[in-house]
Structures are given as structure tokens and as C-alpha cells.
Structure 1
Amino acid sequence: MSSLPRQSLFHSPHMAGHRSLSRRLRAFGLLLGAGTALAAGTVPMMALAADAGTGEVQLAAGRAPVQLDPVTVLGTRTEKTVSEVPASVTVVGAEEIRQRQPDDLGDLLDDIPGVEMSGGPRRTAMQPVIRGLTGERVVLRVDGARQNFESGHRGRIFIDPSLLERVEVRRGPASSLYGSGAIGGVMEVETINPGTFLEDGEPWGGEVGVSWESNGDGFGGHAIGATRLGANAEALVGFTGFDADDLENGAGETIPFTADDVRSGLVKLVFRPAEGHQLTASYMQFRDEHIIPSAANTNTNSIIVDRKTDQKTMTLGWRFDGNGNPWLDLDAKIYRTETSLDERRLDTGRFDETDLATTGIDLANTSRFQLGGFGNHAVTYGVEAYRDDQDGHRNGDIRPQYPDAQQDILGLFVQDEIVLFERLTFTPGVRFDQFDREASGLESKSDDAVSPSISVAYAVTPWLNAYASYAEAFRAPSLTELYATGEHFPGNNFVTNPDLRPETAKNKEIGLTLSESDVLTSGDRITGRVAAFRNDVEDFIEMQVQFLGYPGTTTRNNVQDARLDGVEFELAYDAPLWFASFGAARIRGDDRTEGDALGGLPGDKVSLGGGLKFMGGDVVTGWRMVAHDKQDRVATGEAVTPGYAVHDAWVSFQPSDGGLRGARFDLGVDNVFDKAYRPALSELDDPGRTVKLTAAYRF
């Protein structure tokens, strides 16, 4: 949940339909009051003190620590707690990643309001969906490196969650900071760090573990080692693997081609050459071998391939906090992402190679100063430049459907956070992007875009903030959209469109954020957010197939304007002995060109969750439910999706002392009641009941 130190969540079957924003805000207050009354009757008082050196919460014996409001840099590129950000941001931390035992990012994000995964349970076919926008309309980054791969129905998320320490999601347009593609939002994942496995003074450390899943009879394992390289450097090496057969849905039916053979590895080096400086180098590789349809995120099984997915992400980063100089707070990254899909068709032996390499640099600095009576300023400015090189081959020859092409994008951005009268923060920003594309034997194309944004935040009280924002965003046409030629299918050929324009978005949002500790008892915390938005998207790029004549044609055109409206709500309470949370999202979309409902949207979603902490937090158990209402507001040709509710339960045991100190055991049951269902954004059923067990030892 946005603005929350997220624990487990669940969704109830239905959410209220059409309510005005004022009624939703009143409901927010009523729910908060109900939660307060409930907690007052069940949570005992406890002793708490803060360690001045670490900021960690120290509790009386038998009391588990409470998670603090997480810090994010995704919302503004400056460090802020989530509740301070004038945008909808969610942070999923390391503890929740371990508790959920995720097979993919969808297992971590399925209960966040406004966030979904499309593509079904085939892990390499998944696409992020934020506020109804998917594909390249969402920026995806790993350790700051862009993941720009996109090819038809083949998915674009190639990550093993067991190597992740943190996931952040920003919902809503963000091109003023992140450039092309941030129409729907931004998703950033951070891999594990050496310091996580090195206790104070210890020269080395690590973790080994094994896992098992009942659905698909899956087995996995991981081994992570970290060491100190002198006083100022640390290194980490980690490997993971997972093998599983085809999954089954809640009716006991096999979900075809969902078996996996996954291997991942990570190498990371952290070096601190001087006070305030930190250099980080990392290399991560993901590899999956499986039999899968070529159109992997559909239920079409006409072309089955033996597919090898291989992605390598390399980053080199430099952080300098200024060492007391307010004019310097530097974050620089150089990166390269290489994605390769090799597919051999089982019936004919046809061999396709689909490759994309992204090489880039991202440099940002923040200067802080006072300007007389015009407030305190934090000016963030920088440059991002990257090149996409793609090429495709079929049986060794050039494949025009995925043409040899490249694009160069250069972006310059500046943002000023201005604090006036201590309570009022005014944040204007703007980014300019220049993009040039070319393909062998085809017309080159250049274009540019300006993406302004502005937000105003006001601290109503020390625990309640209100904000309003306006942001414009864009997505440049992809190389395949611009340059694909050759045969689409027998009797139909691709035709290029050199006049294709970028998609653009204009988003308005208002919201309230809540963050307060010691509400009912010493050491507890309540956090929340309610946001309402309207996003007007113009020049949607759509593939149009013309069957008249022979051969027919397929081309991309700017054919659609759309309006997306929505409301998102989140509330969480965390105390030393228990926790609870609630979330809801409602998104409506209209095709303003045709006057019909906009397709590709999820049904209304509601989440609820809660759990208990025992033995000072050594044992944590919880339950969550995710529910979607029936989705009958669909575009012409789309099927109506029935509503459903899915329940999960879990328990974690991590002894803090004694002979088992360092061990951890996680037991979870996903889809407890073995519900058979299909999400609105998938053509495949989701898995039925799945028992998960992980045993790990940290040394």
C-alpha cells in the first residue's frame, strides 16, 4: 500500500460504486475511528525507547518492533518518507518479500490499489499494469537500469524476487523525472546488498535456503555469501534456482505451459573510498528455459516454442552525499541491460532470435539553499541518456517483424522543492527529451517532448498532509511500432507509419496522507492515503489490421483518446502485538474517440489483512484477501470477467536467540479455498491452492 510500511493485506469481495470524493473522505475518517476504537480495546500498553545512534525502535521484552514509515526516493528523487511524497508511492520491504515467498512480482504487488499484473501465471509473460496502463507505458528499472524490452506477447519482467531487497511503485504520470514511458507510472526494484548479511564487526556472512511448493511440485534453493574487503568495501555473490511442473487452477485443471526452469545470479561490490562517497557495481543475470506459446501472454497454443529467456543487467553507481556541502547530493549511474529470447518452434524447427540492449547514464544532483524570504529550496537537476539497440533474426536471416533498429534518447530535467512557512511545499518541475530513431533501409525519425509537473503539499497537522498535483507525460513510439515490416501472418503484411506521434498524458490528482505514531499505545503507528485522479491520454498507439484486399495490411496509428478516473484508498495500523490494513481502488476509463468503455481495465479491488506477533516478533502469522468485483465495463469484443475473492494465510518463525538463532521458517498457503478464477487482465486462470514452505539459515 502506498504510504504504508506494508504488512499482509487482503481484499473483500465488493467495493462501493459511485461515491463522491467528499463521501470517501468521510469514510476515511469513520474507518480510522473504527480502527482506533478496535485497537484501544485490544492492544496493551508497552515500553519503548529510540536508539539515538541507529534510529531503531527498542522495545520492552516480549514486544515486537513496529515498522517505521518507509523512505523513498522514487517520488521526488530526494529522500522522503512515503507519507511526505505528493504522489502515490508504495514501498515493499525485505521482510514482506520473505513472508510472501513470491514466485514473481505479481505475488508482491497484487494487493496494491491501482496495480495489477497481466499475462497470467507464466512468469516470463508478465506485464505491469498501473492505473489501467501497461506495457511500455510503465517505466521499469532494476537498480536504476531501465528495462525497455518489449516484443509482442512475450512479456517484459524477467526478475527472480528472491534476489530483491526492495520494490517501489509510483502510480501516475512521472515523465518530468523519468522521461518516456512514465504515463502509467514507474516501478523500481533494488537487489540485495552485502551489508544485509554482514553483522557489525563480522568479516563474512550469508544465507542458504530451500523451498517447496505443492502446486506444480516446485523445488528451489538459494545460496548467498557476503564478505568485507578491508575496512571500506563489501562484496556479495548470490545464486538461486527453481524448477516446477505445470500449475493447476482451482478446478484441478492443468494451466498449460506454466512449467519453469529458472536460474538467477547476482554479484555486487560496494566501495566507500572517502567520507560521503559510495561506489556500487553489480551484475545480475536471469535465465529461464521452458516450453511455451510464442504468444506467451495469451491462451493461443497454435505456435509452441522451446524458449530460452536470458537477461543481464550491469550497473555502476556513485553516491556522494556532499559530506556537509548543501550544494552537493549526487546520484550517478551507468548501466547496460541485455535481453535475449531464443525460440525454436517445436513443429517446424524455425529459430527466432529477439535481442534488445539498453545502454544508459542517469545523473542527478540536489542543491539545498535558502533564498531570502522565498523559502528553503531543494533543486534537483540532471541528465538521462540511453540508447536502445534491437535486432531480430529468423533462421539466421534478418527478421523484419523485429527490425534491426536503434533509438537515442536524451533527457534534461530540473525540479525545485520550495518549503514556505514550514507547512507549505511547492514543487514545480520540467523535463525536455530529444529522441532519434533509425532502422536499416528505412526513414529515420526525430522528435522531442516537454513534460512539466507541479505539486502543492500542505501539512494540515503534524500527522496529516494534503496535496494536489498536475503532471504531463509521454511515451515515444517503440522501434517495432515504427519500423516493423514483413509478414504479420499469412496474407497480411506490416506497413510502417513514419508519422506516428508520441502518446501523451495529462494527470490531475488530489490526496491526503496520514502518518502518526503512539496513537493508541506507545510504539504503534497508523498510516494511510486517499487519492483521486483523472488522467487524459491522447494519441494512443494501436495496431490496426486491414483484411480487405490481398495482401491485407497491419499498421500502427494514433487512433484513440482516453480518460481514466480513479480513487485509491489505503489504511494500515501496526502495533507491537498485531497489525491490520485495508485498501481499495476503483478505476473507470472511457474511449473518448468512440464513446465506449475503455478496455483492459481491472474490476474494482478491495484488500483487507491482519495478523498477530508472538514471542517478541519471532513468530508472525497473518491472513489477507484480495478481491475484484465483476468487470462488465469492457470494450467491444472483450469478455465479462466474474468477480472473485482469494484468501492467503502465512506464518513466519525466526528465532532471535537460542540454538536456532539464524534460522527462518516460512509457511504459506496461497488461495486457501482453492478458488477457480481468471483475472480481468489475463486470458489464463490463476493457480489454485498452493502450499509454500521455505527454510533458510543466515550465518
Structure 2
Amino acid sequence: MKFDSSLRYTWTESYDNGSNYGSTLHNHEVNDGFAPIIAATIEPIQGLEFYARYAEAIRAPSLFESTTGFSFNVDPMTSVKPEHAKNTEFGINVLRNGVLTEDDKFRLKIAHFNNKVDDYLTRTNYPAVTVRNIPGARFVGWEGSVGYDVGWGFAELSGTYYDEVEFCAYETGGQLACRPAGVQNGYAQLHVPPKKSGTVTAGVRFLDGDFEVGGRLTYMGDRGTTTTNADTGGFTTVINWEKYTLVDLFASYKFNEHVTIDAAVDNLTDAYYMDALTLGLMPSPGRTVRASLTAKF
């Protein structure tokens, strides 16, 4: 059994010296806090690990969130506290060599995560249009990956699935509401992740591994929840991208220890799509060809 732990202390200070739409008041924030990390791993047999991890993290308000911005009115009398994330993860790792041949490698990871953020920072509509801390947000789901490398070839599959996404905030009338897609007049709904996403990568190696070619298939699902007025509490318009699949090709040739050539074709099928979590009405690049030469002296 193996234990790991650490403790981080964070201290921040910000001061808005600008006028607040005619007000003579200013926003001065001083915040600090401790964030521990504790992890434990059990390996009952070689190559098989069960692990659990609890990690906290503190994110101080950014200058945008603690000073007067164009899209909201900072209230100097309202204290803006840091976000405090409390993340729990447990899972299994399998690391085995020589499964089918003497030199192959097999890797497997399956994990469940429950990420809770207290005092989540976002713009809200209550009691005024301003950035403030809401009680919390929660992201729960699964992630996994499996890979096999036999020397002359390799393949890997990875993916993420969200069981639950939730934002809790006080809304008009002072009632606490927990919604799956944001808060009234908020920014939170702009960051709702896709419910399902995954990537498959495979390739082969030639010339004793100096020449490698392969491809990548990327699937990105939709948000998994609609972002209508009922889901968000209204007011903020979001971009509901369509799910999409991309095909990429890549190649790399190592001339020697000092010179390497890389080439890639991104979005081989020239798919028309909007990036997940995009904030602008701009389609992503179509078919793109890239090449590079790296030399070390």
C-alpha cells in the first residue's frame, strides 16, 4: 500500500481602483486558504492497482471577476471569495507487460470522479447582475482508457462520460434552485461539458521504430442537456453545438538523434463543425495539412 499527501496554502489580494459607474466605492479583496491532497494505492498483485484520491484546490477570483467589467456591475459591498474545489476519484489501473508477446504492453484505467466546487464564481441575475459566489457546482462521471503496444504497432481508446452536472444558485425571489445547465443570466451554462466524448488512436512503426504513421478518430457529443430558459433559469444565450466526429492522420520520421520530420492532416473528411464549448459563432477549421522539421544542435 502507498500513501501520498500534500498541503498547499494560497493567498491573494486584488484592488479595483476604477470608478464603479460613478460610485466612489472600490472593490478590495484579500483571500487565503489551505488545500490538502490525499491519495492511497493498493496493489494486491503486480500490475493491478486500486486507488482513491481526494484533492482540494482553491482558485482565486480573476481580475475580470473582482473588478468592474463590461458585462456586469461589480458591487464593492459584496465580497467575492475564492472557489474551493473538493474532488474525489477512485479507480483501477492495470499495467501488464508480456501479455501476448515478450515485448508487448497493456494498459487499462477506469475511474469515477465526483468534483464539487463550493462558492462557484459566475455572473448571476440575483440580486443584481454581477459576478458573485453561488453555493456550488458539481460534475460527476466516469473516465477510462485502454491501450495496447506491441512494438511495431499500437492502439489506444479513451473516453469520458458525465452522469451529472449541476449548478445551484439563489434566483429571483431568493429561492435556491439547482439546474443542470447553468444559472440565471450566468456564465456557467457556457461551460457545460459534452455528456460523452472519446478518442481512438492507432498506428504502426517501421524501420526499427524510426518511421511512425497513424490516425486518430475523435468523437464529441452534445452537451447532454438542452440549454433552454427552463434549464438555465433564462437570460443567457448559449451555443448548442452539434455532436461531431473528426478523423486525423499523422506521421513522423526520425532521421537521426538530431533531426525529425512530422506531418499531419487534421480533419481529413473536411467536416463542418463547431468546437465543443465554443463561445463564438465561428466554425472550426476544415481540412488542414501541417508539416514541421525539428533539429537539435
Q: 1-side partners of 2:259 and 2:10: how far apart?
A: 50
Q: Secondary structure in 1 aligned to 2:65?
A: helix
Q: Secondary structure in 1 aligned to 2:284?
A: coil
TM-score, normalised with respect to structure 2: 0.78
How far did residue 478 of structure 1 move? 2.5
Q: 2-side partners of 1:442 and 1:627: how far apart?
A: 47
- Is 1:591 the counterpart of 2:167 in the alignment? yes
- Is 1:685 the counterpart of 2:283 in the alignment? yes
How far did residue 579 of structure 1 move? 0.6
Tell me which of 9, 14, 21 is aligned to 1:437. Answer: 14
Can you give the 5+ residue segments of structure 1 that lack an aligned partner in the other structure?
1-423
- Is 1:567 the counterpart of 2:142 in the alignment? yes
What is aligned with 1:345?
none
Amino acid of the structure 2 residue aligned with 1:447:
N
How far did residue 443 of structure 1 move? 5.5
Q: Secondary structure in 1 aligned to 2:193?
A: coil
What is aligned with 1:537?
117
What is aligned with 2:63?
479
**Is residue 482–residue 496 contact of structure 1 (8 Å, CA) maintained in 2?**
no
Give a deviation string over 1:285-316, Cα, whole Å, max 9, x none. xxxxxxxxxxxxxxxxxxxxxxxxxxxxxxxx
Q: 2-side partners of 1:477 and 1:520: how far apart?
A: 52
Q: 1:632 to 1:513 in 2, by over 3 A?
A: closer
How far did residue 678 of structure 1 move? 0.7
Q: 1-side partners of 2:125 and 2:178: how far apart?
A: 21
Tell me which of 250, 256, 280 is aligned to 1:650. Answer: 250
Q: 1:480 to 1:677 in 2, by over 3 A?
A: closer
Q: 1:493 to 1:584 in 2, by over 3 A?
A: closer
Q: 1:662 to 1:500 in 2, by over 3 A?
A: closer
Tell me which of 76, 84, 95 is aligned to 1:496. Answer: 76
Q: 1:630 to 1:479 in 2, by over 3 A?
A: closer
Amino acid of the structure 2 residue aligned with 1:586:
Y
Tell me which of 555, 558, 583 is aligned to 2:133. Answer: 558
Within-5 A mapping of 1:208-607? 424-440=1-17, 442=26, 444-484=28-68, 488=70, 494-544=74-124, 554-587=129-162, 588-593=164-169, 594-598=177-181, 599=189, 600-603=191-194, 604-607=196-199
How far did residue 694 of structure 1 move? 2.4
Q: 2-side partners of 1:443 and 1:595: how far apart?
A: 29
Q: 2-side partners of 1:545 and 1:697: how far apart?
A: 54
Tell me which of 601, 606, 629 is aligned to 2:221. Answer: 629
**Is residue 445–residue 498 contact of structure 1 (8 Å, CA) maintained in 2?**
no
What is aligned with 1:610?
202
Give a deviation string over 1:559-604, Cα, whole Å, max 9, x none. 2521110111011112221011000101231123423213322321
Can you give the 5+ residue segments of structure 2 that lack an aligned partner in the other structure?
18-24, 170-176, 182-188
How far did residue 554 of structure 1 move? 4.6
Backbone CA RMSD of aligned residues? 2.6
**Is residue 26–residue 76 contact of structure 2 (8 Å, CA) maintained in 1?**
no
Q: Secondary structure in 2 aligned to 1:481?
A: helix
Amino acid of the structure 1 residue aligned with 2:109:
R
Q: 1:563 to 1:616 in 2, by over 3 A?
A: same
How far did residue 663 of structure 1 move? 4.3
Q: Secondary structure in 1 aligned to 2:58?
A: strand
Give a deviation string over 1:63-103, Cα, whole Å, max 9, x none. xxxxxxxxxxxxxxxxxxxxxxxxxxxxxxxxxxxxxxxxx
Q: 1-side partners of 2:85 and 2:77: how far apart?
A: 22
**Percent of pairs with identical residues:** 27
Amino acid of the structure 1 residue aligned with 2:269:
F
**Is residue 655–residue 663 contact of structure 1 (8 Å, CA) maintained in 2?**
yes
Q: 1:653 to 1:478 in 2, by over 3 A?
A: closer
Amino acid of the structure 2 residue aligned with 1:617:
G
Q: 1:669 to 1:497 in 2, by over 3 A?
A: farther
Q: 2-side partners of 1:446 and 1:532: how far apart?
A: 35
Q: Secondary structure in 2 aligned to 1:595?
A: strand
Tell me which of 256, 264, 277 is aligned to 1:668. Answer: 264
**Is residue 2–residue 40 contact of structure 2 (8 Å, CA) maintained in 1?**
yes
How far did residue 462 of structure 1 move? 1.3
**Is residue 632–residue 641 contact of structure 1 (8 Å, CA) maintained in 2?**
no
How far did residue 481 of structure 1 move? 2.3
Q: Which has the higher strand share?
A: 2
RCO higher in 1 or 2 (8 Å CA, sep ≥ 6)? 1
Q: 1:638 to 1:470 in 2, by over 3 A?
A: same
Q: 1-side partners of 2:193 and 2:73: how far apart?
A: 32
Q: 1:502 to 1:618 in 2, by over 3 A?
A: closer
How far did residue 538 of structure 1 move? 1.8
The number of aligned residues is 263
Q: Secondary structure in 2 aligned to 1:496?
A: coil
Within-5 A mapping of 1:177-192? none
Q: 1-side partners of 2:208 and 2:243: how far apart?
A: 39
Give a deviation string over 1:321-367, Cα, whole Å, max 9, x none. xxxxxxxxxxxxxxxxxxxxxxxxxxxxxxxxxxxxxxxxxxxxxxx
Amino acid of the structure 2 residue aligned with 1:595:
C
How far did residue 514 of structure 1 move? 2.0
How far did residue 439 of structure 1 move? 4.3
Q: 2-side partners of 1:447 and 1:697: how far apart?
A: 47
**Is residue 620–residue 651 contact of structure 1 (8 Å, CA) maintained in 2?**
yes
Q: 2-side partners of 1:627 and 1:619: how far apart?
A: 27
Within-5 A mapping of 1:137-216? none
Q: Secondary structure in 2 aligned to 1:616?
A: helix
Amino acid of the structure 1 residue aligned with 2:59:
R
Within-5 A mapping of 1:19-38? none
Q: 2-side partners of 1:444 and 1:697: how far apart?
A: 50
Q: 2-side partners of 1:472 and 1:651: how far apart?
A: 40
Within-5 A mapping of 1:47-66? none
Tell me which of 627, 634, 638 is aligned to 2:238. Answer: 638
Q: 1:576 to 1:437 in 2, by over 3 A?
A: same
Q: Secondary structure in 1 aligned to 2:208?
A: helix
Q: 1:470 to 1:543 in 2, by over 3 A?
A: same
Give a deviation string over 1:513-540, Cα, whole Å, max 9, x none. 1222222222222223111011121221
Q: 1:430 to 1:673 in 2, by over 3 A?
A: same
TM-score, normalised with respect to structure 1: 0.35
Amino acid of the structure 2 residue aligned with 1:624:
R
**Is residue 602–residue 631 contact of structure 1 (8 Å, CA) maintained in 2?**
yes
Amino acid of the structure 1 residue aligned with 2:42:
Y
**Is residue 66–residue 74 contact of structure 2 (8 Å, CA) maintained in 1?**
no
Q: 1:504 to 1:526 in 2, by over 3 A?
A: same
